[in-house]
Amino acid sequence: MKVAVITESAPGERRVALVPDAVAKLRAAGLDVLMETGAGAGAWLSDDAFTEVGASIVTRDEAVATADVIVAVGRPDDATLAGLRSGQAVLGMLAPLTDPGFAQRLAKDGVIAVSLDLIPRTLPRAQPMDALSSQANIAGYKAAVIAADAFGRFFPLLITAAGTARPARVLVLGTGVAGLQAIGTARRLGAVVSAYDVRPETKTEVQSLGASFIELTSVGAASGEGGYARALTEDERQAQQDELAGHIARHDVVITTAQVPGRRPPLLVTDDALKAMAAGSVIVDMGASALGGNVVGSQPGETTVTGNGVTIIGASNLPSRMPAAASAMYARNIQSLLLYLVKDGALAIDLSDDLQRGVVITYEGRVVHPALAGESQGAAPPDQHNESAGGSDRVDGAAH
């Protein structure tokens, strides 16, 4: 069976889906690996590094023409997808929920699409394949480093002959995978860290990293399904924003990571909260998206400074800014999933398996993933977590 890695097409994307170590493991399992010329260049991996472990270097056209499985980080470009043939598979973080017609188009062409971003994360055997976690970990680390870089003072306590610097006060809002890594990184840099999440069960994890957990008196627990948060009601949201503003004003650096599946990121830092912050404060918004972020006015990939001197950094694809580490971890996720799916040298799709049912979105000409089940009738995909809370921020089909 031939597995081909193609060069990523999204602007600025530097990751590559397989690194030489993973290629060697796949080769040892009997798979042939084709690499598109220069696919690893963004992660400082030369074509020679791949040929040394037995990969063949090919053009994009050869890869698409001969591979049984195409592997990628993000969704391949339309021209590549249009060139796929029936029975061929494509594997990557395909974000199928953001684009209702995407899975239908692949199904119509008979392509087997496997989307790592839908992996059922609570299945223990899926953990080595959990690319959402591996990449969120990297993003959380990078967010803390970016914040430290943009902050005009020290993170650690420094006592020197030229004076004493107090440690930075860092607040992390949202303590999932990325938030916990941001806390750990800021702590290792010497900051005094506080954190808040609507899921109170994260308190012990926060405290085990040496940070203090902020409990709001005006908003109760908002744990949803599958370890995620639910969307807040309008009243809860208002109360949360008002109470958080006081905490935000007491911090030098704020890192926001809050997400709710299927919804636009919740707004946590309002205009009033920004106005109450001291000049020189820094915010890194990991929730920044085209739909809005956790911080009012933040834009992905843009840094702005407010009139009162607060720097707001809208994060954009942070894992790609650490391409070597992110590719190595992602490659391990791909390797684990591929080896799980391959039996006797061929893809063995089995939709009675709960892990496979979670990641396979098209098979034998049909859209088969439960979260996309409405698509064949032309309906908008249902919210994958069936949240009960209402609200105006529903993003039908938004990938998480």
Q: Which residues are tagged catalytic?
A: 121, 127, 130, 133, 228
- The amino acid sitting at 355 is L
Between CA 73 and CA 85 the distance in angstroms is 20
Among 8, 36, 109, 197, contact with ligand NAD (rule: CB under 6 A) = 197
Q: Is 259 in the site for ligand NAD (CB under 6 A)?
A: yes
| Out of 103, 129, 136, 331, the residue judged to bind ligand NAD by CB under 6 A | 136
**Shortest Å, Cβ 258 to ligand NAD:** 4
293 lines the binding site for ligand NAD (CB under 6 A): no
| Between 68 and 130, CB nearer to ligand NAD | 130
* Stretch touching ligand NAD by CB under 6 A, among 104-112, 227-235, 269-277, 311-319: 227-235
- Angle among Cα 85, 131, 148 to the nearest 5 degrees reads 135
199 is an interface residue for ligand NAD by CB under 6 A: yes
**80 forms bridges with which residues in the sheet?**
none
* Residues β-bridged to residue 213: 195
What's the closest the beta carbon of residue 114 comes to ligand NAD, in angstroms?
A: 19
Options 104-112, 181-189, 224-232, 334-342: segment touching ligand NAD (CB under 6 A): 224-232
Nearest to 257 by CA among 373, 334, 104, 144: 144
Whether the Cβ atoms of residue 288 and residue 314 lie closer than 8 Å to each other: yes
Question: Is 104 a binder of ligand NAD (CB under 6 A)?
Answer: no
The DSSP output letter for 388 is -
Provide the greatest CA pair distance for the chain: 72
Which residue, 15 or 263, is less far from ligand NAD as judged by CB? 263
Which residue sits closest to ligand NAD, CB atoms considered?
Answer: 176
Residues that bind ligand NAD (rule: CB under 6 A) add up to a total of 28
Alpha helix segments (H runs only) across the chain: 20-28, 47-51, 60-66, 78-82, 100-108, 131-150, 177-188, 203-208, 234-249, 271-275, 323-341, 354-359
CA torsion sign for 123, 138, 270, 188 is positive
> One symbol per residue from 169 to 188: x for binding ligand NAD (CB under 6 A), - otherwise; what is it?
----xxxxxxx---------
Tokens of 145: 């480093």
CA atoms of 34 and 309, how far apart (whole Å): 51
Neighbouring residues of 188: CB distance < 8 A, sequence distance ≥ 6: none
Output 179 or 314, the one with its CB closest to ligand NAD: 179
Which of these segments, 6-14, 111-119, 208-216, 256-264, binds ligand NAD (CB under 6 A)?
A: 256-264
Least distance (Å) between residue 148 CB and ligand NAD: 21
Q: How far is the CB of 400 from ligand NAD (least distance, A)?
A: 6
Closest separation in Å from C-beta 226 to ligand NAD: 7
- Determine if 90 is a binding residue for ligand NAD (CB under 6 A): no
Q: At what angle do helices 323-341 and 131-150 cross, to 10 degrees?
A: 170
What are the φ/ψ torsions at residue 265 (nearest 5 degrees)? -60, 140
Judged by CB under 6 A, which stretch of 112-120, 254-262, 335-343, 357-365 contacts ligand NAD?
A: 254-262
CB of 294: closest distance to ligand NAD in angstroms? 8
User: What is the rounded distance in angstroms from the CA atom of residue 259 to the CA atom of residue 239?
Assistant: 18
Work out which of 72, 111, 232, 245 binds ligand NAD, going by CB under 6 A: 232
Quick check: 130 binds ligand NAD (CB under 6 A)? yes
Is residue 121 part of the contact set for ligand NAD (CB under 6 A)? yes
Site string for ligand NAD, 359-398 (x = CB under 6 A): ----------------------------------------
Shortest spacing between CB 287 and ligand NAD, in angstroms: 8
- DSSP assignment of 278-322 equals PTT-EEEETT--TT--SBTT--TT-EEE-TTS-EEEE---GGGGS
C-alpha 376: how far from chain center:
27
> Closest CB to ligand NAD among 51 and 270?
270
Applying CB under 6 A, which residues contact ligand NAD?
121-122, 127, 130, 132-133, 136, 173-179, 197-199, 202, 227-229, 232, 257-260, 266, 268
